[in-house]
Amino acid sequence: MKILLASPRGFCAGVNMAIESLELALQTFGDPIYVYHEIVHNQFVVNSFKGRGVTFVNEIDEVPENSNLLFSAHGVSPETRRAAAARNLNAIDATCPLVTKVHLEAIKYAKEDYTIFLIGHQGHDEVIGTMGEAPKAMVLVEDVDDVDKLDLPANEKVAYLTQTTLSVDDANRIIARLRERFPNIANPPKDDICYATQNRQDAVRKLACEADICLVLGSQNSSNSQRLRELAEETAVKAWLIDGPQDISPDWFQGDETVLMTAGASAPETVVQQCVEWLKERFDASVEFRNIREENVHFPLPKVLRNLQKN
Ligand code: SF4
């Protein structure tokens, strides 16, 4: 068996920043500390913080007044910020700057009276947060069918934005249809689908044709990890999205396959290495490192935590 270990894979700059923020907040304030939604969409990460006294909540009113609260990497709506302020919470914002960029674009287009199509997945934390910036101006578009159903004239003043973790190919299909229907549609100068999502997808697109099986490390609710699994399957590779070696079935393998291994932007390298060891032990697998692009992105911690570090 051969393992093709794809790179870039795993933690992106936004996830690193969010996890470091929670680490530092925990060290500085101690428990109890609260996080609004999962800090990142990964079971291993969330469970390890739960074991250290972090409480994850789905509603702001679950947090006792005057407590310390982190907003996760996926961002929150202004309404959630107001609810936190009303409870006098010490809110630390660990939103990824690339998500904040999309929020700012939404605010800008809404101020200019555009109808904004947000290409994304209903119910995802990031989509809820972004739509909350301009709820009256925004329309969620999940696929090409949704574009066809839009009841607006071709000359309507419209713009589109996207969730940061979409399939690049799916998003391009939806954007092409939007452009057919609204030839003057506006869009931000720089892509909203982030560098980490694009790089991980490019690596799978390039390497999947060499593999028989693809293992994607990531949790089921991780959008960018799901897109990696779908992309591998489109290249006619059997692909599984797994949280760690406990999810692997020996029945998936004959023992002589080439296994492409990658990880979504919220999956830690620890679980990748555990899976590599699992395959080495059972199938004597060798590892080939395949890096398609260097990544060198780093985001600073939220200002309030940087200030604490200085003191
Ligand atoms: S996947 Fe992209 S947008 Fe999401 S946290 Fe990572 S860098 Fe930020």
Give the model confidence (pLDDT) of 125-179 as tens digits: 999 999 999 999 999 999 999 999 999 999 999 999 999 999 999 999 999 999 9
Using alpha carbons only, what angle is made at residue 169 by residues 105 and 111, rounded to the nearest 5 degrees?
Answer: 15
Quickly count: other Cβ atoms within 10 Å of residue 262's Cβ: 31
Which pLDDT belongs to residue 310?
78
- Residue 15 Cα to ligand 1 midpoint, Å, equals 7
Using alpha carbons only, what angle is made at residue 194 by residues 188 and 195, rounded to the nearest 5 degrees?
Answer: 120
Probe target for ligand 1 pocket from 9, 11, 12, with the most ligand atoms within 8 Å of CB? 12
Which pLDDT belongs to residue 49?
97
- Residue 262 Cα to ligand 1 midpoint, Å, equals 16
Q: Are 86 and 54 in contact (CB under 8 A)?
A: no
- Residue 164 Cα to ligand 1 midpoint, Å, equals 7
Q: Please give the biggest Cα pair distance in the chain.
A: 62
- Residue 195 Cα to ligand 1 midpoint, Å, equals 8
Q: What value does the mean pLDDT take over residues 213-241?
A: 96
Task: To the nearest 10°, report the CA torsion of 253, 254, 257, 263.
Answer: 10
Taking the CA of residue 194 as reference, the ligand 1 atom at the shortest distance is 2
Structure tokens belonging to residue 283 = 């199938």
Probe target for ligand 1 pocket from 99, 127, 225, 298, with the most ligand atoms within 8 Å of CB? 99
Q: What is the DSSP track for 71-120? A: E-TT---HHHHHHHHHTT-EEEE---HHHHHHHHHHHHHHHTT-EEEEES
Query: Which fold does the domain 2-11+197-291 belong to in CATH?
Result: Cobalt-precorrin-4 Transmethylase; domain 1 (3.40.1010)
User: Is pLDDT at 308 greater than 90 in this prediction?
Assistant: no
Contacts of 246 (CB under 8 A, 6+ apart): none
The binding-site residues of ligand 1, defined as CB within 6 angstroms of any ligand atom, are 12-15, 73, 96, 98-99, 164-165, 194, 196-197, 224, 265
Among protein residues, the one whose CA lies closest to atom 7 of ligand 1: 14
Which pLDDT belongs to residue 127?
98
Given CA atoms 138, 144, 150, 152 in this order, what sign does their dihedral have?
A: positive
For the chain, domain boundaries = 2-11+197-291, 13-96+300-310, 98-181
- Residue 193 Cα to ligand 1 midpoint, Å, equals 9
Which pLDDT belongs to residue 144?
98
pLDDT per position as a tens digit, 254-297: 999 999 999 999 999 999 999 999 999 999 999 999 999 999 99
pLDDT per position as a tens digit, 35-73: 999 999 999 999 999 999 999 999 999 999 999 999 999
What CATH architecture is 13-96+300-310?
Answer: 3-Layer(aba) Sandwich (3.40)
Same fold, 13-96+300-310 and 98-181: no
Contacts of 208 (CB under 8 A, 6+ apart): 214, 231, 232, 235, 237, 260
Query: Which fold does the domain 98-181 belong to in CATH?
Result: Cobalt-precorrin-4 Transmethylase; domain 1 (3.40.1010)
Rounded-to-integer distance, Cα 207 and Cα 2, Å: 13
Please state the pTM of the whole predicted model: 0.95
pLDDT per position as a tens digit, 92-134: 999 999 999 999 999 999 999 999 999 999 999 999 999 999 9
The active-site residue, picked from 38, 105, 126, 257, is 126
Question: Is 126 an active-site residue?
Answer: yes
Q: Which residue reads 């591998």 in tokens? A: 232
